[in-house]
Chains A and B, each alone.
Chain A
């Protein structure tokens, strides 16, 4: 599949070309959305938002090859926007509910012991560190793409990752970590 060719078609207004581009990497997009939103319903909403934004803004994309990192950045932004919206509109109880369901989802991959373990472990990190580590190690995105996605300078991303990893190592090793800076 030639990405640049499809991007050019999508830029001319061809909706199918855009859909084809997304479907070719659908699992990666979905995983990214899922890891931000924590459930299928919201992940799908985020992806819908994303494709609408992509269609409206694809004119601004200059190089076709950059489509995937560009569109994933937009997906992450949509996820964050949805979160913000929820924070504003949902009463407290409901928000806690979604959080619990993230952890105790009936899906098999969530119920394995290892995964629970990992969730607990990751909960020791601050949101920024956790996000950077997941984007780097789980979604395999390069630092500069993560920097783009999160709007933080590259150096900040690197230090969030290294500090996060250091913290996790401290916890696993049983070291004291509470006031680790």
Chain B
């Protein structure tokens, strides 16, 4: 049916024929040999603690310094779509942001202008335009080779989160809106690092510095501590705060999970309802290392008249423990029910070293590889290797993923010993957040 899946599978099979060269091990050994042995950790730790506490002090300083309140709410709040599709003059007309109008013309005659910015508790939006020299026009459908990925200032080093843009009607101008991580209210000047990929492949950087007035940052409509802890199979999801600012609504939290490296196999879905209506979700970010924090980005609230806020954990990573072995006696294309999910034991084939077992699963049913074994000849034999997964297209719109599990045994495997599997579980746990009516 879907030939692209087949082509990707072929592509993978081709790549799979690549084997690491024989000399790899020697090369790596020599590379390791050349570097000095690591010294004891003690000294290093001390330095680290010092710099960490210095950083902590700074963070404290920053977080106690709030954005001065500059509140303006027109009759209507612009949503995220409008904020990223209107030009700066249009959003400024609605009372948003601060005008910058700082341009720079580069050697080839291209002019980049930062038109204006909107700062608030969640993020930083920068509106800019790029004008080509003379009569040159941007080609429709062609990749724009200008970018702005970084913003720096005093205590500010913000990365771009997303960006969007479009061409003016006559194609001479590119209008872009980039969203950055929020900037420090202590920054008085900001530098945006524009860059251009030149034809010879080098990356040219064009910094533009402009004044920033934190007093013109926009105040949040809702800024509440949530302190919600939702128990899930592998621990708990904590929702820590909700911040509804004029450009976005963000729920921040962290995971405390005792499985899979403390990070969920699937981010799941958290719904936000305001005054009983769902607010559209625009994305999710999480830190796999460190504090395992996450943030979920939602649209701007439709109103600042907030009567109720509800947070719903609709689904999330689940873990189903398995106590019973799964029979391998009758391989077929029929499914076997395991907990609330299904598996397909498709074949058990003898190989030169043992047996290959092909098991298919839904894309988000992931077998736990820890202690994975088979029962063969009355003994437990660990699975020796597992192939990468290949799609199994049922031809009816469903695609399953199959993997080959190889075991080294002369006895025919009777059953699969599986400690459990990860899957997307429906939780539907709902919490109402008290809000002070404004």
Contact = CB atoms under 8 A, between A and B. Distances in A.
Interface string B141-170: 101000000000000000001100000000
B140 A148 contact: no
25 contacts: A13-B37, A18-B32, A23-B24, A26-B20, A26-B24, A26-B25, A30-B20, A31-B18, A44-B21, A44-B23, A52-B32, A52-B34, A56-B38, A65-B260, A108-B17, A118-B11, A126-B143, A153-B161, A153-B162, A155-B282, A168-B4, A168-B7, A169-B4, A172-B3, A179-B140
Interface residues of A, number: 60
Given A40-B21, A52-B35, A56-B35, A35 B388 contact: no
B32 A19 contact: yes
B284 A155 contact: yes
B261 interface: yes
B294 to A, nearest CB: 10
Contacts of A108: 17
A117 B284 contact: no
Nearest to B7: A118
Contacts of B23: 44
Given A15-B32, A112-B14, A48 B27 contact: yes
B8 A133 contact: yes
B320 to A, nearest CB: 18
B288 A22 contact: no
A44 B261 contact: no
B162 A138 contact: no
A142 B285 contact: no
Given A19-B32, A65-B261, A178-B141, 16 more contacts: A23-B25, A23-B28, A48-B28, A48-B31, A51-B32, A59-B38, A95-B201, A115-B14, A133-B8, A138-B12, A138-B15, A142-B265, A155-B284, A155-B285, A156-B283, A169-B2
B405 interface: no
A153 B283 contact: yes
A21 to B, nearest CB: 11
B12 A153 contact: no
Interface in B368-383: none
Contact of B8 (A34, A44, A137, A156): A137
Interface of A: 13, 15, 18-19, 22-23, 26-27, 29-31, 34-35, 40, 44, 47-48, 51-52, 55-56, 59, 62-63, 65-66, 87-88, 92, 95, 107-110, 112, 114-115, 117-118, 121-122, 126, 133, 137-140, 142, 144, 148, 153-156, 165, 168-169, 172, 178-179
Contacts of B99: none
B28 A109 contact: no
A148 B285 CA distance: 10
Interface of B: 2-4, 7-12, 14-21, 23-25, 27-29, 31-35, 37-38, 41, 140-141, 143, 161-162, 200-203, 260-263, 265, 267, 282-286, 288-289, 388-389
Q: Quick one: which of B12, B20, B29 has the most chain A CB within 10 A?
A: B20
A107 to B, nearest CB: 8
Contacts of B33: 15
Q: Interface of chain B, helix or strand or loop or mixed?
A: mixed
A63 B146 CA distance: 40
Contacts of A122: 11
Contacts, number: 138
B202 A87 contact: yes
B7 A27 contact: no
The 9 closest A-B pairs by CB, nearest first: A155-B283, A30-B20, A48-B31, A26-B20, A140-B388, A179-B141, A137-B8, A66-B261, A118-B11
B280 to A, nearest CB: 13
Nearest to B141: A179
Contacts of B16: 31
B4 A35 contact: no
Contacts of A63: 261-262
Contacts of A137: 8-9, 11-12
Given A51-B31, A156-B162, A114 B261 contact: no
Q: Quick one: which of B4, B9, B37 has the most chain A CB within 10 A?
A: B4
Nearest to B38: A13
A138 B11 contact: yes
A109 to B, nearest CB: 5
B216 to A, nearest CB: 28
A22 B31 CA distance: 13
